[in-house]
Structure 1
Amino acid sequence: LWGYEEVRSPVIEFVDALSIGVDPDFIDNMFKFQDRDGKILALRAEMTTPIARIVATKMSSKPKPLRLFYICNVFRYNRSYFEKLREFHQAGVELIGCNKPEADGEIISLLLFSTEKIGLDKVRIDLGHAGLLSEILNIMRLQESEKEFFQRILKSRNTAKIEKFTEDFNTPSELKDLLLRLLKCARLKDLQSISLDSGLVKVQKIFEELLEINDILFDYGVEKEVFFDFSLVRGIGYYTGVVFEASVSNIGLPLGGGGRYDNLLEKLSGVKLPATGFAIEVEKCLWALDNRDLEISKRNEPKVLVKSKSRSAGIKVSKFLRDAKIPCLLNFDEADVKDVIEYAKQVGISHVIFAGSSTEEPLEIHDVKLGLVEKSKLQSFVKSVRNRYYE
């Protein structure tokens, strides 16, 4: 319903290819072995890096953004929990080639949409920002070992230990106050109440980005499920922006998570290509569902691209289509009609909807396959599509 296409990667790759952009501890947890020539191979331990390599080497000429999904087994040595599983399955998506907050909003909303569709309710998203935490730690002028230690203190939310650490390292009072106020923020909108020093330009920019993402989540109707956690970090080193984890109350560990990684593809191909995505662990979802039966349906469906002058109107149109079980995707770029139609032809879109600032206005609908253009109300369009594809 969201316009993502399946991609698969090899189970075995050279360890150097799987190690780009990830932390040393993560590399240590890979299952590694030698081939006949003595080269070190590894079983894939996660899917983002393999997919990034495929995009960089096999899909570089394809029109962007790319929307890709996967359901694959991965292999990792874990030391705790029922993460004692050495092989487990990840289901996830990657949105590659768009650096706008709308892409992050889509990914987070899709995660919540997906968990709801498999029967999980009350899923909570904890969201942080890798760049925000990194910038503040850099301002504090800490060594790497000190950063790691301080991040553990932040995660514990022990105010007394945080204050002692900042005093020991002569942290300016304004910065210490900012740290404590960030830890008290429970929602993204709470960032509005924090006044920043004029010198914290990067921090201010990140605040603006997070507040815009909150507005986008509001448009999707999921902002109440998202909580702000300044101390949140992911265990993989390639994240550069928003990071998040999904959890439910009956599991003590996250179902999965994701975030923005704008530098990973550049390390693989030399071409800077922004990206964001998420992965959830299938076994954890099944555990949370308490072995309930799942019903999966497959059918041949149309695919609709929505281009709107108004973000809010575009999201409303896409939500209406998805509620009607019609797959659709949003266009974030400021491209003209000709370029949008050309993009639609290349990626297999059946219809393009050009919406105005209100969903009550007639929509300009392009039938890409038949080359026809018409004005129609959204309800009429949905009826005609269902008659054409499903009746």
Structure 2
Amino acid sequence: MSITKPRGTRDFLPEDMEQRRYIESIMRDIVKKWGYREIMTPTFEHLDLFTLKSGETIVDELYNFTDKGNREMALRPELTAPVMRMYTNELQATSKPLKLYYFENCFRYERPQKGRYREFWQFGVELIGSKKEDADAEVIALAMSILDAIKVNGTLNVGHLGVIRHILKELDTEHQSNIMRYVDKKDDTGLDDYLENINATASLRRNLFELISIQGDDALEKAKEVVGDIEELQYFKNVLNILDIYEIPYNIDFGIARGLDYYTGIVFEIYADNLGAQNQVCGGGSYQLIKLFGGGDVPSTGFGIGFDRLMQICDLVCPKPKNLMIISTDNTRSEAIKIGQRLREIVPTQVDLMHRNFKAQLSHANNIGADHVLIVGEKELELGKFTLKDMNTGYQETIHIDDIIDRLTS
């Protein structure tokens, strides 16, 4: 009987994991330098956590189940809601702003396609407790800094949902949410039909389509002509001014809606080349979810990076660590193990586990890509010196163990 991996999942071989961990380590290093601290939430949560945030329709996209206690549970489809639940349960008394980051796997039951899987990894941050422009700008700047550190060229588009909602303020919440989804999908035809079906006024329809089509350096001035000198536009301008201080290029896009009701103000998306239609690698913005989960009215800003999509286009190559294999005989195997223990403090070291002969051990060292072999034979033990061979150049020398350590660390 042959058992294959579940549809929409992947096996990662050693080379894959070395590359993924290398890129991950760079990303972790960046967020730590900005003062963010790592958290981890459970792989599964109560189903209500996600339906409260996204509605009952999300159930069709989840891996959900009833546990042995007859509780409705779900594998997490994203990380923002679990982090907000954690904050509400355990972190409300923490000094603000609270800077958190995470890197975890998520699960969605959807049709697998290129760059999209049923199990995928998300790297993200949440900045909780500040409603100032500085917080929104920092989160955007951090996202761009991460992509810059791993040599991924990203195009940043920034918008403000408050400006769109100003136009829609005469409509009820349900209509606003549906309109936002059409805007998010860039479905102008569907949006036009929907506005007609709900009998939206001609001025609303005209102003909305004009706003979401605005682009260019004078976008703020054009938006001001549509909606007036509203507070949301001034806030947006302040955020952009701070991004200018960070020297981060951006495009203003009032058509970014993110498609989720909990976003309240600044929203942004980052697109990368060489990914085809599915080229968004990062998305985020400001939101207020904590109140929904029983906490206070606390502002938050965050983003999520699709790690799997990044791995498709990231050209950084994981540096290969130097490694060594000790070749020994049956009579010197014990000493080889002792030497191996000492050398592992310096360099990744292997000893023969198959009781191969000398030639076979040397061949195996070559097959696994060992940079050096250390020959621990009976003659070497008598002399107190060992032969160190560079497998890349073929050069070898017989030297004392202390000198070997110097060679390997130089």
Whether TM exceeds 0.5 here: the answer is: yes
The question of 1:245 aligning with 2:275 is answered: no
1:131 to 162, 170, 194: 162
1:171 to 194, 201, 208: 201
1:259 to 254, 270, 285: 285
Aligned equivalent of 1:217: 243
- Structure 2 residue identity aligned to 1:60: Q
> Following TM superposition, by how much is the alpha carbon of 1:16 offset from its aligned partner in structure 2, in angstroms?
1.2
Provide the secondary structure at the position in 1 that maps to 2:215.
coil
- Structure 2 residue identity aligned to 1:171: T
Distance 2:184 2:83 in 1: 32
1:190 to 219, 222, 246: 219
- Of 129-138 and 144-153, deviating more is 144-153
Contact 1:90 1:279 in 2 (8 A): yes
Distance 1:102 1:110 in 2: 12
TM-score computed with the length of structure 2 as normaliser: 0.62
TM-score computed with the length of structure 1 as normaliser: 0.65
1:144-163 alignment runs, 5 A limit: 144=174, 148=178, 152=182, 155-156=185-186, 158=188, 162=192
> Following TM superposition, by how much is the alpha carbon of 1:62 offset from its aligned partner in structure 2, in angstroms?
1.2
- Structure 2 residue identity aligned to 1:279: G
Provide the secondary structure at the position in 1 that maps to 2:169.
helix
- Structure 2 residue identity aligned to 1:211: K
Distance 2:113 2:106 in 1: 17
Aligned equivalent of 1:346: none
Identity %: 30
- Structure 1 residue identity aligned to 2:317: D
Provide the secondary structure at the position in 1 that maps to 2:54.
coil
Contact 1:155 1:231 in 2 (8 A): no
Aligned equivalent of 1:270: 295
Q: Which runs of 5+ in 2 are unaligned?
A: 1-32, 321-410
The question of 1:293 aligning with 2:325 is answered: no
Contact 1:90 1:281 in 2 (8 A): yes
Gap change, CA 1:149 and 1:238, over 3 Å in 2? closer
Q: How many matched pairs? A: 287
The question of 1:117 aligning with 2:149 is answered: yes
Provide the secondary structure at the position in 1 that maps to 2:251.
strand
Distance 1:194 1:130 in 2: 13
CA deviations over 1:88-126 (Å, ceiling 9, x no partner): 1101111000011111100111000001101102x0122
Contact 2:53 2:262 in 1 (8 A): yes
Provide the secondary structure at the position in 1 that maps to 2:114.
helix
Aligned equivalent of 2:130: 98
Distance 2:190 2:67 in 1: 52
2:232 to 206, 228, 231: 206
Gap change, CA 1:103 and 1:294, over 3 Å in 2? farther
Contact 2:267 2:285 in 1 (8 A): yes
Provide the secondary structure at the position in 1 that maps to 2:263.
coil
Provide the secondary structure at the position in 2 that maps to 1:82.
coil
- Structure 2 residue identity aligned to 1:258: G
Distance 2:184 2:142 in 1: 29
Distance 1:153 1:257 in 2: 15
Contact 1:189 1:211 in 2 (8 A): no
Provide the secondary structure at the position in 2 that maps to 1:270.
coil
Aligned equivalent of 1:337: none
Contact 2:184 2:258 in 1 (8 A): no
Q: How large is the RMSD of aligned CA atoms in angstroms?
A: 3.2
Gap change, CA 1:80 and 1:18, over 3 Å in 2? same
Q: Which runs of 5+ in 1 are unaligned?
A: 297-391
1:50 to 82, 107, 110: 82
Aligned equivalent of 2:49: 17
Higher relative contact order (CA 8 A, sep 6+): 1
Gap change, CA 1:119 and 1:269, over 3 Å in 2? same
Provide the secondary structure at the position in 2 that maps to 1:125.
strand
- Structure 1 residue identity aligned to 2:158: L
Contact 1:23 1:237 in 2 (8 A): no
> Following TM superposition, by how much is the alpha carbon of 1:193 offset from its aligned partner in structure 2, in angstroms?
3.5
> Following TM superposition, by how much is the alpha carbon of 1:134 offset from its aligned partner in structure 2, in angstroms?
3.0
